[in-house]
Amino acid sequence: MISDLDKVILIERAVIESVLSYAQMLHPREAILLLKGKVDKQRILVNDTWIPPLATHGNTFSTFPLHMLPMDFSIIGVAHSHPSGALRPSVTDLNKFYGRVMVIVAYPYRSEKNIAIFDREGNRLKYEIV
Ligand SMILES: [Zn+2]
C-alpha cells in the first residue's frame, strides 16, 4: 500500500494565501479552515478552502466539533493556526485528525515558511505550491 508519505502533495497558491490571511485576521485567536481538493493514487491536490459552517469565534481546533461536519469527500483535511508560533501538531491535534492532511500555520503567518503539513502520525509531509 502506498502511504501518504510517498504521495506528492500539491497546494494551490491561492490556498496558501487564504490560510495565511485568515490566520492573520483571527490572531491571536486560532483560525480553522477546511481544505478541499482531490486525492488519487499518486497525489493529493488541495485547491480550495472553506470556512467551517459551525465555526464560532470561541472555537479552537481542539474544541471544534469535527464529527458534526457534513459528509463531504472533497474535504481532505483541516488547516488551523498556532498563535503560539509552534510549527508542529500537539497531541490533541493528532487525536482530532480529520481527513488526509493537517495543515498548521504558525505565527507570524508571513509566508509558506510558516506553514507545514502533517499526516495522521504527525510526520511532516513535503509539498509543492502550484
Ligand atoms: Zn494545533
What number is the average pLDDT over the span 104-118? 97
Burial per residue of 78-99, b for 16 or more beta-carbon CB atoms within 10 angstroms, e otherwise: bbbbbbeeebebeeebeebbbb
Instruction: Using the predicted structure, report yes or no on whether residue 2 has a pLDDT greater than 60.
Output: no
Ligand 1 centroid – CA 73 distance (Å): 23
Residue 11, in any domain of the structure: no
Ligand 1 centroid – CA 12 distance (Å): 22
pLDDT tens-digit map of 36-95: 999 998 999 999 999 887 666 667 887 877 777 777 778 999 999 999 999 999 999 999
Ligand 1 centroid – CA 81 distance (Å): 7
Residue 120, in any domain of the structure: yes
Residue 52, in any domain of the structure: yes
Residue 12, in any domain of the structure: no
Owning domain of residue 122: 24-129
Ligand 1 centroid – CA 8 distance (Å): 23
- What pTM was computed for the model? 0.90
Residue 47, in any domain of the structure: yes
Residue 10, in any domain of the structure: no
pLDDT for the residue 81: 96
Residue 17, in any domain of the structure: no
Instruction: Count the domains in the chain.
Output: 1
Instruction: Using the predicted structure, report yes or no on whether residue 21 has a pLDDT greater than 70.
Output: yes
Residue 13, in any domain of the structure: no
Instruction: Using the predicted structure, report yes or no on whether residue 12 has a pLDDT greater than 90.
Output: yes
Q: Alpha-carbon distance 125 to 118, whole Å?
A: 5
What number is the average pLDDT over the span 23-33? 93
Please report, for the domain that includes residue 86, its CATH number. Answer: 3.40.140.10
Ligand 1 centroid – CA 35 distance (Å): 15
Q: Alpha-carbon distance 34 to 45, whole Å?
A: 14
In the chain, what percentage of residues exceed pLDDT 90? Answer: 70
Beta bridge partners of 46: 11, 37
pLDDT for the residue 89: 96
pLDDT for the residue 111: 97
Ligand 1 centroid – CA 5 distance (Å): 21
Ligand 1 centroid – CA 108 distance (Å): 15
pLDDT for the residue 24: 97
Ligand 1 centroid – CA 43 distance (Å): 24
